[in-house]
Amino acid sequence: MSTLALQRIRSCLPHTWQFFSVALVTYLICTPPALSQKQAQIPRTLTVNGRGMETVATSHSQVNVGIEIQAKTAADAQKQVAMRSSAVVKYLKDRKVEKLQTTGISLTPVYKYTNNTQQLIGYKATNRVSFRVDTDKIGNILDGVVKAGATQINNINFMAKEEAIATARKKALQAATQDAQSQAQTVLTSLNLTAKEVVNITINSGSTSPPPIFRANVAASRTEASTPVIGGEQQVQASVTLTISY
């Protein structure tokens, strides 16, 4: 090889090493490090939703009664309703019922229609009150308000006490949690997998079904026999969602 050729090769070497150095640095900067085994592993989870329900006996009743009178004049109708209402309220206060309050007062004209002709025949006055009482006392109370002057028993809502509902809600949550765990165990066992730990818990607020309602919506009648009233049950429901790793 000639001396000139050797000189040309030596002159190119620094540029060649510079090129490879830049390429190596670029590779190290732009190429991400290899993911560890733990980072590369995709988490495996199972999400299940459990439900629980408890029933609680009702113990007290919310009652709505009415006094309705029809008379020829508005003043007469209002006067008779006021007298009867006072007697009903006094009776209920003497029985120490809870949450006694007036829920409605109305005075409306009454018309008679003959051959498409409207004729005023009187006025109808109404007064409605509501109260709360233990269900085992409601029969005698209803008989008493009718004797005192009530003409309507509109409806009765049977309700459980707040303490009983709170206890039932806790039991429903326990049942919902056990239901979710049982579902997860069944699924994982069927797939020959093993549960590791619960990684997330979601509790849905327990819901309470509306209390059973007894609707009369008929005019009350005076009777010497005690009116039998039997309360029902309320349902308290809860749900729990579990996310379990395996």
Inform me whether the pLDDT recorded for 56 exceeds 80: yes
Least confidently predicted of 59-73, 75-89, 205-219:
205-219
pTM score over 0.75: no
Assign 67 a pLDDT band (cuts: 50, 70, 90): very high
Using the predicted structure, report yes or no on whether residue 175 has a pLDDT greater than 80. Answer: yes
Task: Tell me the per-residue pLDDT of 12-36, one tens digit each, with 9 for 90 and over.
Answer: 545 544 544 444 444 444 555 555 5
**pLDDT number for residue 59:** 87
Residue 224 is predicted with a pLDDT of: 53
Can you tell me the distance from the alpha carbon of 9 to that of 194, in angstroms, rounded to the nearest whole number? 67
Dihedral pair phi/psi, residue 179, rounded to 5°: -65, -45
Percent of the chain with pLDDT over 90: 57
Q: Is pLDDT above 90 for 225?
A: no
CATH of domain 58-160+212-232: 3.30.70.2970
Segment 92-116, tens digit of pLDDT: 999 999 999 999 999 999 999 988 8
Q: What is the pLDDT of residues 130-143, one digit of tens each?
A: 999 998 898 899 99
pLDDT average, residue stretch 46-65: 92
Task: Report whether pLDDT(74) > 70.
Answer: yes
Parse the chain into domains and list their residue ranges.
3-31, 45-55+165-207+241-245, 58-160+212-232
